[in-house]
Chain A
Amino acid sequence: MSAAEMPGGMVREPLQRSIIARPIAGGAVHTIIGPEPAQRGPWSFITDTPHPTQDMVGPPATYLAVAAWAA
């Protein structure tokens, strides 16, 4: 693991991200594929984890990966 961009550390050339994932409420995650204006997309997905009292708002992230494998 590199901490080269931590405060006080060396700053590298910025790399262009093509995926961004953020935590949202209740244990779910919001992921955007192609978040930058010049990129193809954006495609947005919500993933979630099993919950004791609520329906899941999206599939687990592992299922999204298996879906990509199937496709």
Chain B
Amino acid sequence: MPKVKAERNELPKKKPRTRVTMKNGKVELVTMNGAKRPSYTRDSVMRHPAIGTLRNRSVNVIDISKIESSFEKNHKLFINALKKLAAISNLKDNWNDNGAKRFENILLVKCFTILSTLEKFPPEIFPVADGSIQFEFEKEDGSYLEFDIFENEASEFVVYSGGKEVEKTIACDKIAKEVKFFYERTGE
């Protein structure tokens, strides 16, 4: 038994693992056991050994704040979309005071399924009086993508930044692919 103890003592001490977080505009390093280290300036964070390693591998400079704020923004939008869809599922007959019917369960389940594939590109969601549910996406360059989702299919409408419009009917299981294509495509 003492031998084992001796071996343990010989093990090199591991440095505590840390993660980088942004809080109130300040960059902080937090150890994985939860202990917070003092706030660091951006320069000191960029000298962090982990980031230094990445530099040595010729990885492009990483803007931590951009990655983090983009992730937080998308996560918030995704949660908002889930909440909105939940609210739509609670709408009763005549929800628009003009005779619109409540949304069918089969459509709601379909929309939740589609939304679950869109965590990276969360849509804005709206009820439509014709019984469909509308998913909207907009890029900073002004291009716009819209799906009116029905039980059996979806009607897609794209407006590119140059003003060109395209409308077509697609199967619902193709929506995630179309959205990804929309965000990866540059202006037209």
Q: Do A and B bind each other?
A: no
Binding site for B on A (CB under 8 A): none
Residues of B near any A CB (own CB < 8 A): none
